[in-house]
Structure 1
């Protein structure tokens, strides 16, 4: 297998593929990921997404078909009752800045003033014209909770179309596998699950997968300490503060990477017990929960596929 490592989207990206023209396909994949970053970034002033945000309350913006598609999926998922996913969360993210050098603790009145601006129902989509309009000035879409999964699915689709026999994508901890891993008799890839209480590359478990994605969301990745309290980057749209949860991390194993992104964020506002109960009722979606008191549990469908 040929491998390429890139530094993009603020993370390390690893691409591997088994194909006679692997090198050429890896170059094309890297170019496509750079294009995606340019289009979907909520932090680059000149991205296509930022054009929408800058025109909030002013005018609809015509966008590329893929950006429109992900915003549409994101809006639908954000409007589901009890979902912790909200693509209109941009104003809160920019105010708290958790994960950035200038992170700060906003004044309560500032948070209150932002709550009316994070309503996903106020994102207007015109399918015919391919336009996106944010109804109120100050609104901002942030696709950070979904974008990597969407990109991974698109790259794997390209690899499949080109006739790859095996491929592996790691977009900074968001993993998608295709085909059988060449050096294993059972053909399954081994994916390490990060221990949320130790530095990167320390794994608490290994899960075996094939033609599946492994996506982890956790409160350990981006944190901000203020007056003896620690705040993470996953927000409660009702309060404007980070979600209160006993989850340290939630990993979803699914067929598509975007599904993994959706479910890790959607379920994050619930207790570990509620998350497991939900996972055990979902078809083709499995998961691993690690609690803040260092307990680990997983859904029934992963039995026999996990090594602790």
Structure 2
């Protein structure tokens, strides 16, 4: 007997709450806030934070028991086997080091630890100290063995630092936890790494309105907005962590080629893409490339947009944002050509 075609039942729309279930915790040196709008999904908050803590413990540099610290301690001696999460993250970081021709370099550890910007012992190192460590910043000397899941740093004194990509990877992992547990509508905020899941609960199929960080102000102050759904917005800028010496501000993002913080006309970069790990690495890489080359680099990438803010308070956007980016007036910013 032939089977008759039956219409599939319509998918029931998720029931949302007006006031989201929310939790805020201080983790990885930053404020982490999760908001869930699906009714009855408050318990998922704890699962998501558990995942953040699990990953942070494995990835953080200078933390006892951290797998990344174990890799660094074995530099020039032997390979170290790591968990799948850590290996995947290091693989991403190595890939982006290659794609950006070293503008992003996962082996930047010897330089970041020297400056230590964002910590109480931060200082401007001497040129001789920088010169001694620069040869160790060489992503090509990070050897990965996928079959054995091991990481080997070829020279003694080398160190990987995943700070430029870890928050992005963890943000993506949190989104996976949310989806796995039936969450359809949420906001994930890992201090500068935003992910908007689903659509805004204010109207059916409406995009969220996401603020673009003003790099001259504290976190949460916007200079413009864009509409977004199921996208991540990652911002890097001088507002985050910096060191001031003799009136000069040194930002925390390090140039792997010079051993100094990036120093060009850029004040902030925001990347809009599907995966936060991509946005994290790209925001660092484009800082190195500067405005013109950074924009050209982004225009070649699929499903990726960017907003560049220069020190003369001009805002430049990639072509895909021309119709959607809205500049907030009254803050002194103007659109660049």
Q: TM-score range by the shorter chain?
A: over 0.9
Q: Please, which of 159, 162, 173 is the counterpart of residue 140 of structure 1?
A: 159
> Does the 8 A contact of 2:118 with 2:252 survive in 1?
yes
- Aligned equivalent of 1:93: 112
Deviations 1:124-183 (A, max 9, x none): 111111111111111111101111111111111121122212121000121011111112
Alignment match, 2:318: 299
Counterpart residue number, 1:235: 254
The change in CA–CA distance for 1:144 and 1:294 in structure 2 (over 3 A counts) is: same
Q: Secondary structure at the match of 2:25?
A: strand
Q: Which SS does the other structure have where 1:132 is aligned?
A: strand
Q: How does 1:37-186 map to 2 (within 5 A)?
A: 37-80=56-99, 82-185=101-204
State the secondary structure of the residue aligned to 2:54: helix
Cα distance in structure 2, aligned partners of 1:69 and 1:23: 29
Q: Aligned residue for 1:222? A: 241
Q: Once superposed, what is the RMSD of the aligned Cα atoms?
A: 1.5
Aligned to 2:215, the other structure's residue is in SS state coil
Give the whole-Å Cα distance in 2 for the aligned partners of 1:191 and 1:60: 43
Shift of 1:77: 1.3
Residue segments in structure 2 that go unaligned for 5+ positions in a row: 1-19, 328-337
- Residue 114 of structure 1 aligns to a residue whose secondary structure is helix
- The answer as to whether partners of 1:90 and 1:140 remain within 8 angstroms in 2 is yes
Mark the CA change 1:168 to 1:288 in structure 2 (over 3 Å): closer, same or farther: same
Aligned to 2:208: 189
1:79 Cα deviation from its structure 2 partner: 2.5
Give the number of the structure whose alpha-carbon radius of gyration is greater: 2
Whole-angstrom CA distance in 2 between matches of 1:184 and 1:11? 31
What's the TM-score once normalised by structure 2's chain length? Answer: 0.87
Which runs of 5 or more structure 1 residues have no equivalent in the other structure? none
Q: Give the Å deviation of 1:120.
A: 0.9
TM-score normalised per structure 1: 0.95
What corresponds to 1:247 in structure 2?
266
- Partner Cα distance (1:240, 1:121) in 2: 17
Offset at residue 302 of structure 1 (A) = 1.2
CA distance in 1, matches of 2:286, 2:52: 27
How far off is 1:186 after superposition? Answer: 5.1
Q: Count residues in correspondence.
A: 308
Report the equivalent of 1:213. 232
Q: CA deviation at 1:18?
A: 3.2
Deviations 1:224-249 (A, max 9, x none): 12223221112222221112211100
CA contact (8 A) 2:218 2:239 kept: no
Superposed displacement of residue 55, structure 1: 1.2
